[in-house]
Chains A and B, each alone.
Chain A
Amino acid sequence: MFDFKIVTEWLHGALTGIMPEWAAILTESVLVALAVITLYAVFAIILIYMERKVCAFFQCRLGPNRVGKWGLLQVFCDVFKMLTKEIINLRNTDMFLHNLAPFLVVTASMVTFACLPWNRGAQMIDFNVGLFFILAASSVGVVGILLAGWSSNNKYSLIGAMRSGAQIISYELSIGMTMLTMICLTGTMSIQGIVEQQYAEGWNIFRGHIPAVIAFLIYLIAGNAECNRGPFDLPECESELTAGYHTEYSGMHFGYYYLAEYLNLFICAGIATLVFLGGWAPLHIAGLDGFNNVMDFIPGAVWFIGKTFFVVFLLMWMRWTFPRLRIDQILALEWKYLVPISMLNLVLMALLVAFGLHF
């Protein structure tokens, strides 16, 4: 398979040829940061367009179809509209926290986004506790949501933020537990390590069979809850709390929440791809060498993005089919069902690994 290291090493070589080592690394960091931000924006636009179209087809509608061919330019228009809108400052709010909150949310989401493995050798952050880092970084977002609710001085926002806090912290547990289950199988927390292993030995969802499938399903449910998306969109559920924690935000501050919501969806799906569906690793079937060679021919980035969008589609399907749960039901689902099941699942996986029953 194509190794993206060739590009990065060539770039590094070229830069060190014309400038000192520290300046080369600084330039590379700036380039990488630009790449992350650009990708972030591009994926947000793709996801918003996809959500609109997918939701429309679920609902016997056509979706956006006026601006540009098939409404392709609709999202661009919306983004520009958002950028030009006034940011309204409210009296009696905690201005500093009110303005800080959206940046916390969007930063947490960007840092997590930077951890995703795009291709062999194409990864921005990679170290031996990569998965652990992802879990830690993604949790910072909840601080932003709580701050938004608290600083808005609005009862709806506060209720939304409290719900959100309770929900995200609860579901973090399930996510942690499923990650632990999979780490038990892989034996490493390094992101490239996990993917390389799946490239060599097959996707984790096949390798770990029963416990891996259970963990995958729990992860999808908990991940959806973590993104505050339907049926777990209680923190902002529009029919009770108008817009929940971001009721009082306008302009690009609201835009950041909107952006983060969609990117969190992508990140959630991306982690599922990374841990369960082999990341950028192509589909290999043992024994069919010809088929495997053809699969290897498809670039890793295509595999990764393709699989991620497949999971995104699953999550959208869930969102547009189910009604919303009530807060006590959400917490009951987590504490009474998902946590015990994932604990048992962890034990099951440990036994599987101990007795070498996995593939």
Chain B
Amino acid sequence: METTETKTQVQAAAPATPKPAAVKPAPKPAAPTAPAENEVKPIEVEPSALRKEMERLKAEDMDFLECLTGVDWMEEGLGCIYTLTSTSTGKVVHVKTATLDRENPLLPSVSDLWAVANIYEREVFDFYGIRFTGHPDMRRVFLREDWVGYPFRKDDETEKNNPLRMTNEPLADDTEELVLNADGTVTSKRNTIFADGDYVVNIGPQHPSTHGVLHFRVALEGETIKKIDPILGYIHRGIEKIDESLTYPQTLALTDRMDYLGAMQNRHALCMCIEKALGVEVSDRVKVIRTMMDELQRIDSHILFFSCLAQDLGATTAFLYGFRDREKILDIFEETCGGRLILNYNTIGGVMHDLHPNFVPRVKELIPYLRNSLKELHALFTGNVIFQNRAKGVGVLTKEQAISYGCTGGTGRAAGWHNDLRKTRPYAAYDRVKFNEVVREGGDSFDRYMIRMDEILESLSILEQLVDNIPEGSIQEKMKPIIKVPEGTYYSAVEGSRGIFGVMLISKGDKSPYRLHYRSTGLPLVAAMDTLCSGSMLADLITIGGTVDYIVPDVDR
């Protein structure tokens, strides 16, 4: 046990510094001798000992539950892999637990240690039927409440049990909590979601400000919010389940459809995970291209964030100004990738096409143009006294809450949490560019807004440094026609447009993944909405929802 743990630490703590291909010859893809850079060797813990082990890790400063992956290992049982990170040291630990009981699988809940585990455990319950003792709200999260079976189990007969239902989805008013008694027996008790006299208003699923098909049940006291209950899954497409029957190159196609404003970064994360698992080193040119594309995508996302926030707050003019500028970036994407929203650009071992000849001049035009128009956006919207009154001090998330809820990206950085993966675990070409990690202390909506606006400038500076230094080289490594990832568990993450986007890949050596789990950037943000909004006014829900910047297809997957 001890040795495994040390090994895991060393592997995770060492920053994955990519070396140029010319300096260090890449290991042969055919037979990787050394373990892959991103392979994880989780600490294996019995379910009975899990609670104690997690408490120990939490006490050891592993304060950020980065990812929780439910897995059905069949003969090894049903279980989870917990990815824990220490925000102070950057150490990463993976913990694996599994129970052999398929009829009534039970695991202890850790939702009191990390707030985000609440929604992650509901997801695992939804897909695998594992029930967590001590979890206050054991409801399905994505699937209908009258769904039969647990579709991610390898032996589930999903289609047979679930014909197309012509009835409306029932929404429960109470929920189950399993209590693990001292003598080892489990009792069930009911918790109500809303109190009897609550005035509950539905915000969504069809609503202009939820940025997609998201449904909040909001209990109001006059105009003040008492409680929010998010109902997810309206555009759950089961991407992770579909991936289990696709070949590796096919799985790439679906990543763009999760966070459509982080399409580049999502696909980058999956490609990087598979490449590292295979031991493929991509060329320097590919690294730089991917970095530039990621940054363009980030600017695109942040400008859209600005526009939508302005629109939500009633400033329609600012909205269109934002869209005017975003168009320039989409044009650049269109020339090189052929797509504007769904880009399909990264591939395993490279990128789909070489850069369009116009790419460099257009990016060079874009940098000064955007710097100017940012000033215009600030003059139009940021300095406006109405906006400042509506954003300052609204929806404050403290650093502790941000970490506990796993709110990465701009939302976490606004609270003073240094969580930028481009700095803490550099990948692609981020180790060779100079940029600042934008961090603010207040944690309110205005800080979240300013973080994004300032990040646009940092991204522009990264582009500026790279645009003249795109190395020559191959844009695609030679790959086998059928890609088979060696058996093992792999985890890679990138800094997406709105936080850490992680990919957990479990392979049995086949041509398709055994389990592919994405750490969604938006799910923790939606989970934090109740805490963020309680006590605020109904209009603040819109401001807060706009500034935490979740994307619903990314939440639902």
State the A residues within 8 Å of B (CB). Answer: 55, 58-61, 155-156, 159, 230-231, 233-234, 237-240, 242, 320-329
Contact = CB atoms under 8 A, between A and B. Distances in A.
A230 B314 contact: yes
Contacts of A230: 314
B469 interface: no
B315 A325 contact: no
Interface-centre pick from B310, B312, B381 (highest chain A CB count, 10 A): B312
Contact of A159 (B380, B390, B538): B538
23 contacts: A59-B317, A60-B320, A60-B324, A155-B199, A159-B223, A234-B539, A237-B314, A237-B539, A238-B208, A239-B312, A242-B207, A322-B315, A322-B384, A323-B381, A323-B386, A324-B386, A324-B539, A325-B389, A326-B537, A327-B539, A328-B223, A329-B386, A329-B389
A320 B384 contact: no
A326 B314 CA distance: 11
B374 to A, nearest CB: 16
A149 to B, nearest CB: 14
Nearest to B390: A326
Given A59-B320, A60-B321, 20 more contacts: A59-B321, A159-B538, A231-B386, A237-B539, A239-B313, A240-B209, A240-B541, A322-B315, A322-B386, A323-B313, A323-B381, A323-B386, A323-B390, A324-B539, A326-B389, A326-B390, A326-B540, A327-B223, A328-B223, A329-B390
Q: Which 8 A-B pairs have the closest CB atoms?
A: A324-B314, A323-B315, A323-B313, A59-B320, A239-B209, A326-B539, A239-B312, A155-B201
A301 to B, nearest CB: 33
Contacts of B540: 326
B310 A323 contact: yes
Contacts of B542: 239-240
A335 B384 CA distance: 21
Nearest to A238: B208
Interface in B169-213: 199, 201-202, 207-209
Interface in B285-320: 310-318, 320
Interface string B471-505: 00000000000000000000000000000000000
Nearest to A56: B320
A241 to B, nearest CB: 8
B387 interface: yes
Contacts of B208: 238-239, 242
B274 to A, nearest CB: 41
Nearest to B310: A323
A239 B311 contact: yes
Contacts of B199: 155
A55 B320 CA distance: 11
Contacts of A58: 317
Nearest to B385: A322
Interface-centre pick from B199, B207, B540 (highest chain A CB count, 10 A): B207
Contacts of A159: 201, 223, 538
Contact of A59 (B209, B316, B390): B316
Contacts of B317: 55, 58-59, 320-321
A324 to B, nearest CB: 3
Contacts of A55: 316-317
B320 A61 contact: yes
Nearest to B545: A239
B365 to A, nearest CB: 18
Contacts of B539: 234, 237, 240, 324, 326-327
A324 B207 contact: no
A233 B314 CA distance: 9
Nearest to B320: A59
A323 B384 contact: yes
Contacts, number: 80
Contacts of B318: 323
Interface string B381-400: 10010110110000000000
Contacts of B381: 323
Nearest to A59: B320
Contacts of B537: 326-328
B68 to A, nearest CB: 33
B387 A323 contact: yes
Contacts of B223: 159, 327-328
B314 A156 contact: no
Nearest to B539: A326
A325 B207 contact: no
A329 B543 CA distance: 14
A353 to B, nearest CB: 34
Contacts of A325: 386, 389-390
A320 B318 CA distance: 9
A323 B324 CA distance: 19
Nearest to B536: A326
A55 B314 CA distance: 13
Nearest to B318: A323
A221 to B, nearest CB: 12
A154 B320 CA distance: 31
A332 B321 CA distance: 30
A336 B386 CA distance: 16
Contacts of B384: 322-323
A312 B313 CA distance: 23
A327 B390 CA distance: 11
A54 to B, nearest CB: 11
Contacts of A320: 316-317
A234 B324 CA distance: 27
Interface-centre pick from B199, B313, B390, B541 (highest chain A CB count, 10 A): B313
Interface in B362-413: 380-381, 384, 386-387, 389-390
A231 B310 CA distance: 12
Nearest to B308: A239
A159 B218 CA distance: 13
A121 B201 CA distance: 53
A47 B321 CA distance: 24
Interface-centre pick from B381, B539, B542 (highest chain A CB count, 10 A): B539
Contacts of B380: 321
Interface-centre pick from B202, B314, B380 (highest chain A CB count, 10 A): B314
A16 to B, nearest CB: 55
A193 to B, nearest CB: 39
A236 B283 CA distance: 55
Interface string B135-154: 00000000000000000000
Nearest to B201: A155
Contacts of A233: 314
Contacts of B538: 159, 240
Contacts of B390: 323, 325-326, 329
Contacts of B207: 242
A113 B380 CA distance: 35
Nearest to A326: B539
Interface-centre pick from A59, A230, A239 (highest chain B CB count, 10 A): A239
A240 B313 CA distance: 9
Contact of A239 (B201, B314, B320, B324): B314
